[in-house]
Amino acid sequence: MAPLTYNLRKPSVPGRNLFRRSPPSLAEARRRNELRISCSNSYPPNKFKRAYTSVMIVPTGIGASIGGFAGDALPVARALASVVDCLISHPNVLNAAMLYWPMPNVLYVEGYALDRFAEGVWSLKPVHQNKVGLVLDAGIEEELRVRHLQVVDATRASLGLPVVEYAVTDTPLQVEKWVDLKTGQSAGRIKHSDSLLRAVWTLINRATVNAVAVVARFPDDDTDDLDDYRQGKGIDILAGVEAIISHLVVKEFQIPCAHAPALLPLPLSMSLCPKSAAEEMGYTFLPCVLAGLSNAPQYVVKNFKSLDMGCISANDVDSVILPADACGGDGVLAFANSKMNKPLIITVGENETVLSDTAEKVGIEAVKVSNYWEAIGVIVAHKAGIDPNSLRKNRINKIQRAPAIPFNGYGVSSASVFVD
């Protein structure tokens, strides 16, 4: 139990008896103490230190060993959220089809927005609740559309999610997907992106929504083409174009957006990998998307006003965790090259992908760890204000003397004395 505290302020009138009112009861003191708790994971909050903020990135569609399947990076996010004050991550990490996990100190940020945040162009404004709208692809068959709407109503009735209205695109979006033969990443396009943007615009202007879930009809694959993915190998062939869809909406309207594909249920597999199993539990992947969007932070174009709006900026980030061979993304490079408060970059060797963009190759400084167990240990030390190297054998060398740098065109000798 946190210690009870009493705030004994100076009396506003000289001579007034400071203890004229009786001290608060135990229940009242406990209630007041609870009200002081912020969104931070720490209890009680340390008012002498700002919140420790981490960003967890697992790029989508690159076959990540952890995070390349159906929400299999979510346990890592849960573990990180238990030791940091604020964790910022994106749908590929936090979505698990029919499954999700509520974490009050985790910010659900779409990938395009996360890159703009890292570059310092956008800030994140935490909210209590968003009004969520839903866009359905006109290409979705009637029965499959009804299934999705029933799931939406279930989340509204059973979870209380604020999904207020839906719109159907005025023409089928016609999603295409493929694997880039040069990079091995999943990719794709939508032929009628203008139809998607019109549907989102309608929801924003008619229902004043400030977050949007999109469900597009994806082409059904031959079961043989999905065998590797269902067995926990290969890449998620849907992921690349899913990212394109959400990027398009976020770039145009600067509001939270996430996508769930509409697909026909697959036949039963007796060799299904647990990492892929969350996607085979029902008719839709919508529940995790709606849960994430319901309290996703809003995106604020950074300016002097955003500093007074309780926004989180890139300068508030203390550490970034990502796969060791996925360091070439815009967001990671922006964090690594920050001129202000450069965060600690932690790369995880065990989380292999189809990429080869290591920290050394892209020229950034990073702490290399073998797995997420070690990454969490580094975070704990860093949050405590401890150099993580001091926890390792022979990692602390003798301190080095900085070379003399000319000051205003004049060299400064070691014997110079300045008197105030």
Residues 201 and 254 in one domain: yes
Range of the domain at 157: 127-296
Residue 52 forms part of a structural domain: yes
* Mean per-residue pLDDT of the chain: 84
Residues 255 and 148 in one domain: yes
Average pLDDT over residues 339-366: 94
Of 158-167, 221-230, 306-315, the range with the lowest mean pLDDT is 221-230
pTM: predicted TM-score of the whole model, two decimal places: 0.82
Residues 150 and 264 in one domain: yes
Integer-rounded Cα radius of gyration of the chain: 25
Residue 21 forms part of a structural domain: no
Residue 141 forms part of a structural domain: yes
pLDDT of residue 50: 83
Residue 237 forms part of a structural domain: yes
The residues, any chain, with a CB within 8 Å of residue 214's CB and separated by 6 or more, are 134, 135, 137, 196, 200, 245, 246, 249, 257, 258, 259, 260
Residues 172 and 275 in one domain: yes
CATH number at residue 344: 3.40.50
Q: Do 349 and 327 touch, CB atoms closer than 8 A? A: no
Residues 186 and 278 in one domain: yes
Q: How many CA atoms are closer than 13 Å to the CA of 226, on its beta-carbon side?
A: 21
pLDDT of residue 406: 74
Residues 261 and 333 in one domain: no
Question: How would residue 409 be classed by pLDDT, with cut points 50, 70 and 90?
Answer: low
Residues 136 and 217 in one domain: yes
Residue 335 forms part of a structural domain: yes
Residues 188 and 256 in one domain: yes
Residue 176 forms part of a structural domain: yes
Which of 136, 91, 140, 135 is closest to 263 using CA atoms? Answer: 140
> Of the ranges 10-14, 77-81, 301-305, which is most confident?
77-81
Report the domain count for the chain: 2
- Express each pLDDT in 95-152 by its tens digit: 998 888 889 999 999 999 999 999 999 999 999 999 999 999 999 999 999 999 999 9
pLDDT of 20 > 50? The answer is no
Residue 179 forms part of a structural domain: yes
Residue 258 forms part of a structural domain: yes
